[in-house]
Amino acid sequence: MHPDLLLVLPLLIPLYGTLLCLFLWQREVWQSIMTGVVQLLWLGSVLLLLREVLSAHVVSTQIGNWPAPFGITLVADMFSVLMLVAAAVASLAVYLYALQGLDLTRQRFGYFPLLLLLQMGISGVCLTGDLFNMFVWFEVLLICCFALLSLGGSKSQLEGTLKYVTINFLASGLLLSGIGVVYSLYGSLNLAELAVLVREPHHPNLPLLSMASVFFLVGFGIKSAIFPLFFWLPASYHAPPIAISALIAGLVTKVGIYAFIRLFTLVFVSDSGITLPLLAGLSALTMLVGVIGAAAQTDFKKILSFHIISQIGYMLMGLAIFTPLALAGSIFFILHNILVKTNLFLVSGLVAQRYRTFSLKKLGGVYLLQPVLALLFLLTALSLAGTPPLSGFWGKLMLAKGGLEAGNYILVTVSLGVSLITLFSMTKIWNEVFWKPRPRTDRPDTILPPVSKLRRRMAYLPVVFLLACILGMGIFASPIVRFSERAADGLLQVQPYTDTVLAKSKPEQVEESKQIHETALHP
Distance of alpha carbon 25 from alpha carbon 110, whole angstroms: 8
**End-to-end C-alpha distance for the chain, whole angstroms:** 42
Return the pLDDT at 453: 63
Contacts of 413 (CB under 8 A, 6+ apart): none
Distance of alpha carbon 205 from alpha carbon 203, whole angstroms: 6
Distance of alpha carbon 465 from alpha carbon 88, whole angstroms: 13
User: What's the sign of the alpha-carbon dihedral 59, 62, 68, 71?
Assistant: negative
Q: Is 509 exposed, middle or buried (0-12, 13-18, 19+ CB in 10 A)?
A: middle
Q: Which of 231, 224, 334, 336 is nearest to 279 (CA)?
A: 224
- Secondary structure string (H, E, C) spanning 195-230: HHHCCCCCCCCHHHHHHHHHHHHHHHHHHHCCCCCC
Full DSSP string of 155-193 = HHHHHHHHHHHHHHHHHHHHHHHHHHHHHHHHS--BHHH
Distance of alpha carbon 59 from alpha carbon 79, whole angstroms: 12
Cα-based distances in Å from 299 to 70, 234, 296, 357:
50, 11, 9, 9
Full DSSP string of 391-444 = HHHHHHHHHHHHHHHTT-HHHHHHHHHHHHHHHHHHHHHIIIIIISPPPTTS-G
Return the pLDDT at 520: 46
64: helix, strand or coil: coil
Distance of alpha carbon 111 from alpha carbon 367, whole angstroms: 32
Distance of alpha carbon 308 from alpha carbon 333, whole angstroms: 12
Return the pLDDT at 456: 67
Per-residue pLDDT of the chain (523 residues; tens, 9 = 90+): 788 889 999 999 999 999 999 888 878 888 889 999 999 999 999 999 999 999 888 999 888 777 777 788 899 999 999 999 999 999 999 999 998 888 887 888 889 999 999 999 999 999 999 999 999 999 999 999 888 888 877 787 888 888 888 888 899 999 999 999 999 888 889 999 898 888 877 666 778 888 888 999 999 999 888 988 888 888 888 788 888 999 998 898 899 999 999 999 998 887 777 888 999 999 999 999 999 999 888 888 889 989 999 999 999 999 999 999 999 999 999 999 999 999 999 999 998 888 888 888 888 888 888 889 999 999 999 999 989 889 999 999 999 999 999 989 999 999 999 999 999 999 999 998 888 887 775 454 344 444 556 666 778 899 999 999 999 999 999 999 999 999 999 999 988 898 888 876 555 554 554 555 455 445 5
Q: Are 170 and 111 in contact (CB under 8 A)?
A: no
Amino acid residing at 469: C
* Rg, the chain, Cα only: 23
Return the pLDDT at 505: 58
Cα-based distances in Å from 270 to 211, 221, 267:
12, 19, 8
Distance of alpha carbon 100 from alpha carbon 502, whole angstroms: 48
* pTM, full prediction: 0.92
Return the pLDDT at 240: 85
23-31 LR contacts (CB < 8 Å, sep 24+) = 26/108, 26/109, 27/108, 28/104, 28/107, 28/108, 28/112, 31/107, 31/112, 31/113
Q: What count of other Cβ atoms lies within 10 Å of the Cβ of residue 27? A: 13
Contacts of 354 (CB under 8 A, 6+ apart): 366, 369, 370, 447, 448
Q: What count of other Cβ atoms lies within 10 Å of the Cβ of residue 495? A: 10
Q: Are 251 and 308 in contact (CB under 8 A)?
A: no
